Amino acid sequence: MTYVNYVVGAYAAFAIVMLWDFIVPRLQIRRELRAARLRKTRAAKRAEPVELSR
Amino acid sequence: MNPVLLWFHQLGSPPIFDRFAARWAPWCYAVAFLLMGVGLWQAFQVPADYQQGDSFRIFYIHVPSAMMSMLVFGLMAAYAAIALIWRIKLCEILAMACAPVGAAFTVITLVTGSIWGKPMWGAWWDWDPRLTTELILLFLYLGVTGLYHAIDDRRAAARAAGLLAIVGVALLPVIKYSVVWWNSLHQGQTISLFGDSKMDPSMQLPFWLMFVAVQFWFAGSLLSRARADNLRRESGKDWVAKLAAKS
């Protein structure tokens, strides 16, 4: 195979950018859902009656 | 109402769009992976070019990405125009989701083109009209993304960035015809969607497989990114809390 380093380099660059494009939206979705879960937990804690004690 | 039209209107609802995107994005990626696998395998089965040797195999990732870099920008501007005219929130989201995917395709185009250019032209880079306009396209994508994230009000940000996308469309014909208008280093059009191609038919199959694969990839990525932005915008709503509790 001729120019093998260039071919490998180009395909590696393609794979890296595509992988980034594949992973980033998944992480964003996971982060948003996690944030929504935490918000719900915080809201539920705030709604609990607070017992005062001495 | 026409059922297709009704479905289209319903898709504008954030929870319905979320279900739609969550359902179809994995399928788009699956088809893209399958076609890319076959396309890339085929790309290494065809004989080497008699002049360029094996470096011509870079063509199979460079050209589909270059075509997508322009197609995505056109689509982004179309979504932005619809969002500006009819104030459809989903179109704002879709327009802004196009920008990072289009930027990714532009980066691939520039990097793979540069890697191909070194052995063929003897230089990594040249301020050739095609290369320069493609670089400006990348800056436009980055500008749209940057502007969208620089303004706190999501809707105002999408309108401002959308306007930049619409203005930027003027660059697309310059990129497309740069190899015709100027006698430059970059070669002329090798392959055409609707006309005659200069490439031997025996070498074309991997290209078409890759071209269809990147379309599906784009659809998957667009749906996923739009879903993430949709969830961010709707973060305080009940349906997001219910969805988060289920996941």
pLDDT, tens only, A17-26:
999 999 999 9
Q: Which of A6, A17, A40 sits opposite B245 (nearest CB)?
A: A40
Tens of pLDDT, residues A40-51? 888 888 887 777
pLDDT at position A15 over 80: yes
Phi, psi of B53 (to 5 degrees): 65, -140
Q: Which residues of A touch B (CB under 8 A)?
A: 1-4, 6-7, 9-11, 13-14, 17-18, 20-22, 24-26, 28-29, 32-37, 39-40
Decide if B29 contacts B217 (C-beta within 8 A): yes
Which of B170, B172, B100, B168 is closest to B130 using CA atoms? B172
Mean pLDDT per segment of 10 residues, for chain B of length 247 residues?
84 93 97 97 91 92 96 97 93 96 98 95 94 97 97 94 97 94 86 78 91 98 97 92 87
Which of B40, B133, B24, B243 is closest to A29 using CA atoms? B243
Beta carbons within 8 Å of B229's beta carbon, 6+ residues apart: A28, B93, B96, B97
Q: Which residues of B touch A (CB under 8 A)?
A: 29, 40, 48, 53-55, 57-58, 61-62, 65, 100-101, 104, 107-108, 111-112, 115-116, 118-119, 217, 221, 224-225, 227-229, 231-232, 235-236, 240-241, 243-245, 247
pTM: 0.93
Q: Which residues of B touch A13 (CB under 8 A)?
A: 108, 111-112, 115
Distance of alpha carbon B145 from alpha carbon B157, whole angstroms: 10
Scan for tokens 């289920």, then name that residue: B246
- What's the start-to-end Cα distance of chain A, in Å? 82
Q: Which of B53, B100, B241 sits opposite A40 (nearest CB)?
A: B241
Tokens for B4, please give them. 């297709």
pLDDT at B9: 85
Distance of alpha carbon B11 from alpha carbon B6, whole angstroms: 9
> For residue B94, how far is the Cα from the chain centroid?
12
Q: Using alpha carbons only, what angle is made at residue B100 by residues B66 and B223, rounded to the nearest 5 degrees?
A: 100
Q: Do B217 and A18 touch (CB under 8 A)?
A: yes
**Strand-pair partners of B53:** B49
SS3 sequence, B32-76? HHHHHHHHHHHHCCCCCECCCEHHHHHHHHHHHHHHHHHHHHHHH
Q: Do A10 and B61 touch (CB under 8 A)?
A: yes
pLDDT at position A13 over 90: yes
Tell me the nearest-neighbour CA distance from B40 into chain A, angstroms.
Answer: 10
pLDDT at B188: 84
**pLDDT interval class at A54 (50, 70, 90):** low
